[in-house]
Amino acid sequence: MGESGAAFHRFLRENIVMNILGINAYHGDSSACLARDGKLVAAVEEERFKRIKHWAGFPGESIRYCLKAGGISIRDVDCVAVNRNPRANFWRKALFAFLKRPGWNGVRDRLKNASRFHDVREALAQTLGVPSEGIRSRIHYVEHHRAHLASAFFVSGFSSAALLSVDGFGDFVSTMWGSGEDSTLAVKGQVYFPHSLGLFYSALTQYLGFPHYGDEYKVMGLASYGRPSYLSEMRKIVRLKHGGRFQLDLDYFLHHAEGVSMAWENGAPVVEKVYSDRLAGLLGPARVPGEPLSSRHEDLAASVQTMYEEAFFHVLDFVYEQTWNARLCLAGGCAMNGVANGKILDRTRFKNIYVQAAAGDAGGAIGAAYTVWNQLHGRPRSFVMDHAYWGPEYGKEINEELRIKNEELKRSGCEIEEISDSKALLQKTAGRIAGGKVVGWFQGRMELGARALGNRSILCDPRRADMKNVLNARIKHRESFRPFAPSILRERTAEWFERDGDVAFMSQVYSIRPEKRARIPAVTHVDGSGRLQTVARAQNSLYYDLILEFEKLTGVPILLNTSFNENEPIVCSPREAVECFLRNRMDVLVMGSYFIQKEACPEE
């Protein structure tokens, strides 16, 4: 090809619009995203449509939404990026299977799951009702942890950074670290199956009587009530090694020998017991689900969290020594451990941290898409993910849902008022919150990730010492040891917390200043901490202004923010919001410009 031909092809590459569909499929928190010329257009988890927590399977509804949000069809998609590569580490997998000969159930499940990735084109065709030959997209398979690293670095805004991904397992790896520079990332090390900090935490979560997929956050909340009096036993389970590595004492686990069965197909993920009976010999009898919690269980939880942090910081110290970069991008399921994340700046030499809203497997769709855009195509980075509002937004659907539910709302004693002036709407809502009411807040585009961040939230007064009990009795019905989160005006953060900085995604837990704790007891955990969300006007002006109105009334620039749901995925549509509002004892629903209050909620 001559110089003119090469220049022409370069011109085409640089000027023709490229649509990339990212997918996290056949795993927990299945999701999809659409990136157009390096800019994120849409991203959402399948659970929000299927209404099953952590839904695992092929994310068909998420794909449909992303294409609709982008105004395109599958024929307009240039690349499909999947955050798994079944061929990755193939020889390690084969050698392990030959030497260890794990049980058939686990091997069967993994082979079945891996085989699905070879049929992504067919799954897309069936989902969208088009012939498979009509899908011209090139399909890229991105190794699981590379996608995690990319999901943090390529959207972080850092020109360079140290990178770390920690989770259970993906493509035979549990931990990967490296460095990012401009539009490339380089892997510098990894920890392979069967050793995993994520699996350690999951196994002890099961042992403590929390059996469901994703229950690890319960142990993190419980840990603050106990003392790490079992740390010496934990150090027998997890052993730190040279070079930032670690090993599990496999006598306490089943996943490597018996091949624990895992289900990832069209429903809630199910993982069988992963710890062996020898764990009870070391730590005492396992807690039966539903059994009352004792101080022993609290101490065990504290010991699990402390052991995780010890190993986590062991890895981080080595990552810093390998990269000498004070900026850190963190991803993987373990990046949801906000307690550990909140200690990084104090316990390591890192000075800046970026953890995106969907740090776990849902974010792998974004990582796969940006690996294709930035790394494989070498395109410059021009997008920063500084907010999480990438899901569906509703306008006329709100009106239609209220019309359909009008009689039912009236029978429930509800008054419906449309307040077109946003300032008046915010003032009235802030007044209700300050008056002790529980308010459902449904606005704009739905958040990506596990946290409600001010668009699909239940909001309350953090000054009320009884508000935690009120929420649990009326709506949430969750364990008393789990804290609720504070949303604070960004510029007030240093006045109320012992750390200043942007924490837009509730990804870090920080200490509330001792002199402020008595003023906001509903969001102050037993150890004096809060799972922080900073709110800047540039990120979410409506939510920011609501908190500002609350501050004008109370002098407190903070709201209690919890997810708009009731033991289900966060509500997505107006119908789900209204139904959730009607079936529990929420006082007010503010949906778009509509202010809906129950009869028991009088005027101030």
What does the pLDDT look like over 155-184, one tens digit per residue? 999 999 999 999 999 999 999 999 999 999
> How do strand 529-535 and strand 508-511 relate by DSSP bridges?
antiparallel
Residues 575 and 453 in one domain: yes
What is the distance, to the nearest Å, from the Cα of residue 593 to the centroid of all Cα atoms in its chain?
A: 29
CA distance 308 to 438: 36
What is the distance, to the nearest Å, from the Cα of residue 78 to the centroid of all Cα atoms in its chain?
A: 27
Confidence band, pLDDT 50/70/90 cuts, at residue 88: confident
Number of Cβ within 10 Å of residue 2's Cβ equals 7
- Tell me whether the omega of the peptide bond preceding residue 194 falls within 30 degrees of 0, making it cis: yes
439 forms beta bridges with: 459, 588
pLDDT, residue 89, reads: 74
Residues 103 and 204 in one domain: no
Residues 6+ apart with CB under 8 A from 30: 24, 45, 46, 47, 55, 56, 57, 58, 59, 62, 362
- What DSSP string runs through 398-462? HHHHHHHTHHHHHHTTEEEEE---HHHHHHHHHHHHHTT--EEEE-SSPBPSSS--SSEEEEE-T
Residue 57 Rama label (left phi>0; alpha psi -120 to 50; beta) = left
Half-sphere exposure (CA, 13 Å, Cβ side) for 351? 4
Can you tell me the mean pLDDT for 130-139? 90
- What DSSP string runs through 332-400? SGGGG-HHHHTTHHHHSS--EEE--TT-SGGGHHHHHHHIIIIIIS-PPP-------B-S---SHHHHH
- 261: exposed, middle or buried (Cβ count in 10 Å: 0-12, 13-18, 19+): middle
3-state secondary structure of 69: helix
More confident residue, 523 or 478: 523
Number of H helices, E strands in the chain: 22, 23
Single-letter residue type at 328 = L
What is the distance, to the nearest Å, from the Cα of residue 277 to the centroid of all Cα atoms in its chain?
A: 31
Residues 183 and 325 in one domain: yes
Residues 90 and 33 in one domain: yes
Residues 338 and 407 in one domain: no
Residues 284 and 408 in one domain: no
Residue whose C-alpha is closest to residue 181's, from 215, 156, 203? 156
Question: How many structural domains does the chain have?
Answer: 3
Single-letter residue type at 189 = G
The answer to whether the CB of 434 falls within 8 A of the CB of 548 is no
Residue 578 has pLDDT above 60, yes or no: yes
**106 assigned to some structural domain:** yes
pLDDT, residue 477, reads: 87
Residues 163 and 98 in one domain: no
For residue 424, give the CATH number of its domain. 3.90.870.20
Residue whose C-alpha is closest to residue 80's, from 17, 124, 16? 124
Residues 6+ apart with CB under 8 A from 291: 209
Residues 40 and 163 in one domain: no
The answer to whether the CB of 571 falls within 8 A of the CB of 565 is yes
**44 assigned to some structural domain:** yes
The answer to whether the CB of 170 falls within 8 A of the CB of 368 is no
**384 assigned to some structural domain:** no
- Among 148, 167, 197, give the residue marking a domain's end: 148
CA distance 203 to 531: 24
Give the E-state strand segments of 56-113 in sequence order.
79-82
Residue 320 tokens read as 């810093």
CA distance 138 to 219: 42
**Domain residue limits at 265:** 156-356
State pLDDT tens for residues 290-321: 999 999 999 999 999 999 999 999 999 999 99
Residues 514 and 417 in one domain: yes
Residue 139 has pLDDT above 80, yes or no: yes
Residues 288 and 270 in one domain: yes
**365 assigned to some structural domain:** no
The answer to whether the CB of 440 falls within 8 A of the CB of 590 is yes
Task: Write 119-124 long-range contacts (CB < 8 A, 24+).
Answer: 120/23, 120/25, 120/80, 120/82, 121/80, 123/25, 123/58, 123/60, 124/63, 124/74, 124/80
The answer to whether the CB of 583 falls within 8 A of the CB of 566 is yes
Residue 199 tokens read as 């699996």
Chain-wide mean pLDDT for the chain?
93
pLDDT, residue 261, reads: 64
**23 assigned to some structural domain:** yes
State pLDDT tens for residues 358-384: 999 999 999 999 999 999 999 999 999
Residues 110 and 215 in one domain: no
User: Which of 68-77, 94-103, 285-294, 345-354 is predicted with the least confidence, judged by mean pLDDT?
Assistant: 94-103
Confidence band, pLDDT 50/70/90 cuts, at residue 402: very high
pLDDT, residue 602, reads: 43
Single-letter residue type at 485 = A
Residue 250 has pLDDT above 50, yes or no: yes
> How do strand 160-170 and strand 173-181 relate by DSSP bridges?
antiparallel
What is the DSSP-derived secondary structure letter of residue 278?
Answer: H
What is the DSSP-derived secondary structure letter of residue 267?
Answer: B
State pLDDT tens for residues 468-508: 999 999 998 889 999 999 999 999 999 999 999 999 999 99
Half-sphere exposure (CA, 13 Å, Cβ side) for 42? 25
Determine what percent of the chain is predicted with pLDDT higher than 70. 91
Residue 555 tokens read as 């002098």
CA distance 438 to 484: 13
Confidence band, pLDDT 50/70/90 cuts, at residue 17: confident
Confidence band, pLDDT 50/70/90 cuts, at residue 98: low
- Among 129, 148, 167, give the residue marking a domain's end: 148
**603 assigned to some structural domain:** no
State pLDDT tens for residues 261-296: 666 778 899 889 999 999 999 999 999 999 999 999
- Among 97, 114, 148, give the residue marking a domain's end: 148
Single-letter residue type at 155 = V
Give the E-state strand segments of 182-225 in sequence order.
184-192
Residues 6+ apart with CB under 8 A from 330: 152, 164, 165, 166, 341, 344, 353, 354, 355, 359
Instruction: Choose the most confident range, by mean pLDDT, from 113-127, 255-269, 389-403.
Output: 389-403
For residue 106, give the CATH number of its domain. 3.30.420.40
Residue whose C-alpha is closest to residue 263's, from 54, 450, 62? 54
**10 assigned to some structural domain:** no
- The side-by-side arrangement of strands in the sheet containing 79-82 is 39-45, 31-36, 19-24, 79-82, 138-141
Residues 168 and 129 in one domain: no
**527 assigned to some structural domain:** yes
The answer to whether the CB of 329 falls within 8 A of the CB of 254 is no
